[in-house]
Chains A and B, each alone.
Chain A
Amino acid sequence: MMKLKCIAIDDEPLALKLISRYVHQFPELQMVQTFEDAISGAEYLKQGTTDLLFIDINMPDITGIDLVRSLEKKPIIIFITAYKNFAYEGFELEALDYILKPIDAKRFAKAVEKAIDYYKYKNAGPGEKLDNSLYVYSEYRMVKISLDDIEYIESMEDYIKIHVNNGKTILTLMPLKKVLEKLPVGKFQRIHRSFIVAVDKIKSIHNRKVQLADAELPVSESYMDFVRKWMKFK
């Protein structure tokens, strides 16, 4: 059975005690070491053997943000902080989650489950992406999106906007081309410079317009092959 190697860095000894206790409850996790001294923690991380890092932000010698920024090979990161004022800086660091102190057991479990999911997803071979989810960073944390929920994806300059079936959208920094690579072939189709559509969600195609549940998207000339194929199969 796989075990995620975890370390925790926090200047508060009691916080480390609590994190260790929580981690112990997950058979998938293994707490390798905890560090009150962030500098020793950073030193240890250079080995690159860590899968999951729990780290405080406001620490005496170096902030958690600066520490993570300095890492060449980043493990999965969960920030644990007493005060929310650093969330924005953490955004660019692509943290999986933020947990506020006092650390609630349920909230911690949720973050850990997400980390385990993400770990499996990242480490699965090309053919075994059974997870059927897409992971993107949005609004300061990693968001898991079920592929079945996606209606279409819209490109907005450097960002993409993922439209899911309940009318919600998720904005993330990623080029449209890159997200297409992450999606299973055949289930999603690019139909325009700015659009990727979930093939299952297409209601009809008419006059170079793809009709979805609550959107109509244009099809550009270069993707007309797809339309012809779709017409033939239906």
Chain B
Amino acid sequence: MLKVRTYQVIIHIAGWLLFMGFPLLFINGGQSDSDFRTLLVPYYWLFCFTYIFLFYFNAYLLIPGLFLKRKYILYGSIVMLLFAGVYFLQPYDRLLKSTEKNMGFQHGPPARPMRDKLLGQDRPSLPRGDRPMPLRDNHDPHGPFAPGEHPPGDKPPRFGPGPNHSPMPFVDSISLFIFLMIVAISTAIKIIQQWQLTEQRAIQAEADKASAELSFLKAQINPHFLFNTLNNIYTLAVIKDDNAPDSIMKLSNIMRYVTDDATEDFVPLQNEIDCIHDYIELQRLRLGEKTQIDIDISGNIEHKKIAPLILMTFIENVFKYGISKHTRSVISIKIWGNEKGISFFCQNHIFPDKNEKKRTGIGLKNTRQRLEHLYPGKHELTIDTENKLYTVKLVLQINDEA
């Protein structure tokens, strides 16, 4: 991430150095001694910073603040305002004039503007009047201009073949052209970045969901639970206990729920509650008299849908960490449904962890991620460990299905 950032900064700096290099190249025609003098001209810096400012102002304020929020009219108006600003500021023309003035002072005779050179014209080779395009020479008599002024007859260089003193007001079209280019480039860059970001987020969300599902499947078909339960059912069969078929059905229901339903985004709340019931019934085969289970499911749970295995994860944790064969303890589980959604509560005694390193909290982290993903701003999860009790409260805002 940091690497990408550094890379971006370097690209930007390189881009701007290139941009700042162009006027030096064109205005002075590559004469290195005058390059430095150009650097001393304040209008050079005005020119550069005007465009740098415009670029970032557009990219980091206008685009994310207005354009991407679909405030196109406001965005358009502000761009028009900036356009007008550049129209009046004429950064390019000022730069040009001030370098001419600067160089004029240095070289004595009227300065040869860069445009002569740009057009491939060499001063000595052509007498003044014979030039096909009367470019800057007509300015020479005016001498240097004061900042902010521009001569009425000044014309954009390439548009200048007409009469020198045209009635049309002067337009610094190069400045405006650069303006449009800068705005277009920064807009394009920002919008492409935005696209990439949206794309990445979509991919990330998809991957998060897949990994959550996968780890849930893995966690849910907990081999320890599965094989112990199978052993219990095996024992029931060996001792010809009547509970054997029933227990097989319960395990089968859990497995079906975990393998089938859990791949859906949302399932009926009743299915999740059935799974919890079956799970607790199978756990009762394993628990002795030391553990008491209080379970209370009430209120309106019909017509509600929930992301599968969210509640099951907490239930499973209760049985994983809240059981002792040595000390009496109570496990409480409550699920209420009302018109706003579902409230879930579970509490178990915390027994000193026999195997600290095994408890990694991956299940909990995963559940938090899933809640963020599936119930953004619509869930409230509080977990506290006061008084040696592990208490989970989860409130989900869910609308009833029609």
Q: CB within 8 Å of B: which residues of A?
A: 11-15, 17-18, 21, 36-40, 58-63, 66, 82-83, 100-103
Contact = CB atoms under 8 A, between A and B. Distances in A.
Contacts of A62: 354
A14 B227 CA distance: 13
B239 A60 contact: no
B34 interface: no
Interface of B: 223-224, 226-228, 230-236, 238-239, 285-286, 288, 290, 323-327, 351, 354-355
B231 A15 contact: yes
A82 B224 CA distance: 6
Contacts of A12: 228, 231-232, 285-286
B354 A83 contact: no
Contacts of A100: 227
Contact of B227 (A37, A39, A61, A101): A101
A100 B227 CA distance: 9
A59 B290 CA distance: 14
A18 B238 CA distance: 8
B227 A40 contact: no
Contact of B354 (A13, A36, A60): A60
Contact of A38 (B223, B227, B233, B325): B325
Contacts of A11: 286, 323, 325
Contacts of A18: 231, 234-235, 238-239
Contacts of B324: 60-61
A63 B288 contact: no
A86 to B, nearest CB: 10
Contacts of A14: 231-232, 235-236, 285-286
B53 to A, nearest CB: 63
Given A14-B235, A14-B285, A60 B351 contact: yes
Question: Interface majority SS on A: helix, strand, loop or mixed?
Answer: loop
A156 B354 CA distance: 37
A36 B325 contact: yes
Contact of B326 (A21, A58, A61, A66): A61
Contacts of B238: 18, 21
A36 to B, nearest CB: 5
A82 B231 contact: yes
Given A14-B232, A18-B231, A102-B233, 8 more contacts: A12-B285, A13-B288, A39-B326, A59-B325, A61-B325, A61-B354, A82-B227, A102-B230
A103 B234 contact: yes
Nearest to A17: B235
Contacts of B285: 12-14
Contacts of A61: 324-327, 351, 354
Question: Interface majority SS on B: helix, strand, loop or mixed?
Answer: helix
A145 to B, nearest CB: 31
Q: Which of A17, A60, A61 has the most CB of B within 10 A?
A: A60
A100 to B, nearest CB: 7
B374 to A, nearest CB: 31
- List the 10 closest A-B pairs by CB distance, nearest first: A82-B227, A101-B231, A102-B234, A102-B231, A37-B325, A18-B235, A14-B235, A14-B232, A82-B228, A60-B323
B198 to A, nearest CB: 42
Contacts of A66: 354
Nearest to A15: B231
A33 to B, nearest CB: 15
Contact of B325 (A21, A60, A63, A82): A60
Given A18-B238, A83-B223, A101 B325 contact: no
Contacts of A103: 231, 234
A82 B232 contact: no
B326 A101 contact: no
A222 to B, nearest CB: 50
A101 to B, nearest CB: 4
Contacts of A37: 290, 325-326
22 contacts: A11-B286, A12-B228, A12-B285, A12-B286, A14-B236, A14-B286, A15-B232, A15-B235, A17-B235, A17-B239, A18-B234, A18-B235, A21-B238, A38-B326, A59-B325, A60-B323, A60-B325, A62-B354, A82-B227, A101-B231, A102-B230, A103-B231
Contacts of A59: 325, 354
Contacts of A60: 323-326, 351, 354
Contacts of B327: 61
Q: Which of B224, B290, B325, B351 has the most CB of A within 10 A?
A: B325
Contact of A63 (B223, B231, B286, B354): B354
A63 B354 CA distance: 7
Contacts of A21: 238-239
Contacts of A40: 326
Contacts of B355: 63
Nearest to A11: B325
B26 to A, nearest CB: 73
Contact of A101 (B230, B290, B323, B351): B230
B282 to A, nearest CB: 11
Q: Which of A12, A21, A39 has the most CB of B within 10 A?
A: A12
A12 B288 CA distance: 8
Q: Which of A14, A100, A101 has the most CB of B within 10 A?
A: A14
A11 B147 CA distance: 92
A101 B223 CA distance: 11
B43 to A, nearest CB: 75
Nearest to A61: B326
B277 to A, nearest CB: 20
A36 B234 contact: no
Nearest to B234: A102
Nearest to B327: A61
A104 to B, nearest CB: 9
